[in-house]
Amino acid sequence: MVNKITVVGAGNVGATTAQRIAEKELARSVVMVDIADGIPQGKGLDQWESAPIELFDSRVTGSTGYETSAGSDVVVITAGIARKPGMSRDDLLNTNAGIVKSCAEQVKATSPNAIVIVVSNPLDVMCYVAKEVTGFPRERVIGMAGILDTARFRSFIAEKLDVSVRDIQAMVLGGHGDTMVPLISYTSISGIPITQFLTAEELAPLVDRARNGGAEIVKYLKTGSAYYAPSSGAVQIVEAIVNDQKRILPCSAWLEGEYGMKGLYLGVPCKLGRKGLEKVVEIDLSADEKAALAKSADAVREPMSVVKL
């Protein structure tokens, strides 16, 4: 447990993230910050009133200012507009870049030693915005993407084969978007290669569904986007950091030569501990996987080059 964790944004993703953090008692104080007066305060109070039932002592509060978040150990940035039907993640670029820039400026001023976890879309570029604006080292600015993409892939495999999600090991790398790279060579069920259960032809639609998992939910909701699974992914990172778990999870990290790339955020296996990103883990990839990862990196660099800071 740490002293304070702040969640920026009290929408569906932010509020659900704050609730999960409180229920896991990862911090003594959980603060939700949002510009919409009354929303963070009301949701924070509602969550705190659930504490006697759910049996947690993490104090949840809400605020429209960053003063109450000062000195946070971890800050999760979920702020931004939600994706609408027909809207790609890159369509969100300039609007959400401005929002994340403003959030990052406030975090730098009030919690200069915090570890920042970015959830806002388009994810990889918003990580870049947060890192550039705060000036924090790469160890303290991490993006939640691969965990969510991997969870979707695992859930679809479990559904297809009628097996427990607990036994499915998988990893999805690359940018958080249509060019994400599910690693078939590292996908298994209780250590048994997935290719012993499914053919390439049977795997292909599962890979496509994982790539379009967010859009599928947006299509159903019509006026919103996913938040249960994204909040779970964010909290898994928070928990790994707060409890110094040394977990290896797919996250968006700033590359400094790993995988032959540098100067961008991309989903890669990351070792997470109390100081944040402890190491980018480099694994062997097939020729096809290398090519797909390079293509995904190009898809991240393009919006990075036009984002306005």
Domain boundaries, given as residue ranges, for the chain: 2-143, 146-304
What pLDDT is stored for residue 81 in this prediction?
Answer: 85
Q: What DSSP character marks residue 120?
A: P
Report how far residue 247's alpha carbon sits from residue 278's, in angstroms, rounded to the nearest whole number.
Answer: 10
* Residue whose entry in the numeric block shows the structure tokens 């890979």: 207
State whether the Cα torsion 236-237-242-247 is positive or negative.
Answer: positive
Q: What does the pLDDT read at residue 44?
A: 98
Q: Is 176 a catalytic residue?
A: yes
Catalytic residue among 83, 131, 176, 211: 176
User: What CA–CA distance (Å, rounded) separates 282 from 73?
Assistant: 28
User: Rounded to an integer, what is the distance from CA 177 to the centroid of its chain?
Assistant: 12
For residue 178, with 0-12 CB atoms within 10 Å meaning exposed, 13-18 middle and 19 or more buried, which class applies?
A: middle
Pick the CATH number of 146-304 from 3.40.50.300, 3.90.110.10, 3.30.70.1520, 3.40.50.11540: 3.90.110.10
Q: Block means of pLDDT (10 residues each) for the chain, length 309 residues?
A: 98 98 98 98 98 98 97 97 69 88 98 98 95 98 96 98 98 92 96 97 96 93 92 98 98 98 97 98 95 96 88
Q: Which pLDDT belongs to residue 90? A: 66
Helices 12-23, 39-49: crossing angle, 10 deg rounding = 30
Smallest CA-to-CA distance from 177 within 77, 295, 80, 285 is with 295
d(CA 16, CA 94): 25
Assigned token pair, 221: 């909701």
CA distance 82 to 92: 8
Question: What distance in Å separates the CA atoms of residue 274 and residue 114, rounded to the nearest whole number?
Answer: 11
What b/e sequence results for 104-143 when a residue is b if at least 16 CB atoms lie within 10 Å of its CB, and e otherwise? bebbbebbeebbbbbbbbbbbbbbbbbbebbebebbbbbb
Contacts of 217 (CB under 8 A, 6+ apart): 225, 226
Based on the number of CB atoms within 10 Å of its own CB, is 160 exposed (0-12), middle (13-18) or buried (19 or more)?
Answer: middle
Let me know if the fold of 2-143 is the same as that of 146-304: no
d(CA 127, CA 270): 15
Tell me the CATH architecture of domain 2-143.
3-Layer(aba) Sandwich (3.40)
Rounded distance, CA 286 to CA 13, Å?
A: 35
Nearest CA among 85, 110, 101, 127 for reference residue 253: 127
**d(C-alpha 302, C-alpha 6), whole Å:** 31
Q: How far apart are CA 158 and CA 256, in angstroms?
A: 35
